[in-house]
Structure 1
């Protein structure tokens, strides 16, 4: 396989082709790591431009019930960070899509910042997203990420002030991630003139790719968000739910079918 693109390079290529990135999220180890490895290869084969992998955590503050339950199942089954990294490394050569690790800061601190960054880079990750890490405290992690060319993706909340947004833009790498609503993942999503306006404000002051997530799950959601002119759409709870429901079949045919349908919606509404 050719050298995998970085997050930034992926968005540059997509922009040249006037495409919006399809960014699914799955929870590592739910229900087991063999299913995770199979799901990652399917997502890559079916056109995921970037894949987010959630590291299970006992107190996932940003996650809604679907992803919380997935984390709980994985942890109950003895899934650890080291096991996840080993599994990802085993399949990374079969995955064309750059990978983003979605993790909480306690996991990084408990592991050791330098060690954590080194290990996820070795496993094949190209980016990292830490939802509970405030902009005021990112310097140490940012420094380690820069050393290893790991892109640190930062979240912009819907209630962020203009001053705070400018600070986030200065520090972010790879892309900016706009949270579509206050609350947790998997919430009901719908038309939102404020978010649409916020997207335009961010695009006026930043050339970085802008992705949107939290609550996006349907064909209509995809059509609406693409009409806002964003560079990528993250879908988490719906993919976690579909994967768990399909997991009794080792080939994950129903999950593959779902991926194909979502990719089709992304293409027809671009």
Structure 2
């Protein structure tokens, strides 16, 4: 529900700090471990969670998240299983906003209206579908909004003024500013340029502006938090999973490898008062 997102950002604004938005891939490295990581993220310091939908052709993702998707698919993670994972999470956590992030094909195969109904029933708050441009809003965006789900838009550094107004026209929840040109995890963002871009976006929308792609550590997150309403960290968390594995299998250290990094990131962000 968009209300959960709105409440989260209002609370953080009153606390004068940016949101820590954590991304993991559903089913990586297996369903049980992924569910355990998901359940542990809020206590570790995540304010908002993006849960990736595994897909065979993730064109916007860098090597780390591509590998996570491959591990999840090889462990038989499906969209239906991802929604069940979300439902189990929501049964124990009524407050933390959760966004599903992925590509249109799995949703199309599932059936758009059925997916939206099941997502809402599972406690999903919004969607980021990276390959659905505004020209295709009738496909998912507008039906999602009618179903009570926020449809979150990506804005690139290269987006011009005319395009920006089109992108923002049906946006809800927050605006996701892609801080670099390229795929996820490919480079570190320039905090000064990000600050200028966030200020520009805030002249066009009242929605919170969240920055992602390329934020790797607590120092980088804190630098971005000076201007942004939220900071997304994904590839570093996915790498923490990979580095904890024995081959492709989870180990007793896998969950802690992720939550330990989230705790460090959260401390860095909470040191920045806005």
- TM-score tier, shorter chain, comes to over 0.9
Classify 1:51/1:136 alpha carbon distance in 2 versus 1 (closer, same or farther; 3 Å). same
SS in 1 for 2:152: strand
Provide the aligned C-alpha RMSD in A: 1.8
Q: Is the 8 A contact 1:43 1:256 kept in 2?
A: yes
* Shift, 1:251, TM fit: 7.3
2: CA distance, partners of 1:191 / 1:129: 24
Q: Is the 8 A contact 2:191 2:223 kept in 1?
A: no
* Shift, 1:15, TM fit: 1.2
**1:207-250 per-position Cα deviation (integer Å, ceiling 9, x unaligned):** 110000001012221122122x1100001101111133344117
Q: Which structure 1 residue ranges, 5 or more long, are not aligned?
A: none
2: CA distance, partners of 1:255 / 1:39: 7
Classify 1:241/1:17 alpha carbon distance in 2 versus 1 (closer, same or farther; 3 Å). same
The aligned runs of 1:185-196 (5 Å cut-off) are 185-191=184-190, 193-196=192-195
2: CA distance, partners of 1:78 / 1:30: 10
Structure 2 residue aligned with 1:90: 88
* Shift, 1:156, TM fit: 0.4
Q: Is the 8 A contact 2:4 2:96 kept in 1?
A: no
The aligned runs of 1:161-176 (5 Å cut-off) are 161-176=160-175
TM (norm. structure 2) is: 0.92
SS in 2 for 1:269: coil
Q: Is the 8 A contact 2:155 2:178 kept in 1?
A: yes
Q: Which structure 2 residue ranges, 5 or more long, are not aligned?
A: 245-249
2: CA distance, partners of 1:128 / 1:28: 14
Q: Is the 8 A contact 1:51 1:100 kept in 2?
A: yes
Q: How many residues align?
A: 267
Structure 1 residue aligned with 2:16: 18
Structure 1 residue aligned with 2:111: 112
Q: Is the 8 A contact 2:2 2:173 kept in 1?
A: no
Q: Is the 8 A contact 1:186 1:237 kept in 2?
A: yes
2: CA distance, partners of 1:77 / 1:55: 13
* Aligned: 1:69 with 2:72: no
Structure 1 residue aligned with 2:41: 43
TM (norm. structure 1) is: 0.93
2: CA distance, partners of 1:131 / 1:32: 24
Quick one: which of 51, 55, 58 aligns to 1:57? 55
Structure 1 residue aligned with 2:181: 182
* Shift, 1:4, TM fit: 9.7
More displaced 10-residue stretch of structure 1: 151-160 or 4-13: 4-13
1: CA distance, partners of 2:59 / 2:233: 18
Q: Is the 8 A contact 1:153 1:172 kept in 2?
A: yes
1: CA distance, partners of 2:189 / 2:121: 39
Q: Is the 8 A contact 1:180 1:213 kept in 2?
A: yes
Structure 2 residue aligned with 1:264: 267
Structure 2 residue aligned with 1:101: 100
**1:51-76 per-position Cα deviation (integer Å, ceiling 9, x unaligned):** 00000000001100000001011111
Structure 1 residue aligned with 2:197: 198
